[in-house]
Amino acid sequence: MPMEEPYKTLYMTLRYNDFPLDQWRYYVKMHGNAILIGTPNHHWTVLDNVPGWHVTINGIQTNRFNDGFEEFLQHTWDATMHIVQAQQWFRMHAVRM
């Protein structure tokens, strides 16, 4: 099954930059088929086979967004300081296929 956006661009960017698995770095964690953006308690969850992302707060999934990578970078409505810092890192290091 092909990877959906924004997962595909996020994943390619992380792999290109030798990002470790299952470790938080720059407020980003690659875990299985998910990329988490933020902190363990408040993050955006991006899944490989689902377009867009959803917000997870204290283990509870809340809002869902069906947007691509560019919208992901511009989204600020529920972005914490940590998510904004991760967005900035992706802006500077993005690998677009």
pLDDT digits (tens, 9 = 90+) for 5-53: 999 999 999 999 999 999 999 999 999 999 999 999 999 999 999 999 9
pLDDT score of 77:
80
| Residue 31 near residue 42 (C-beta atoms within 8 A) | no
Query: What are the boundaries of each domain within the chain?
Result: 7-91
Strand order in the sheet with 28-31: 28-31, 34-38, 42-47, 53-57, 60-65
Distance, CA of 44 to CA of 90 (rounded, Å): 14
pLDDT attached to residue 96: 79
pTM: 0.93
> What does the pLDDT look like over 56-87, one tens digit per residue?
999 999 889 999 999 999 998 888 999 999 99
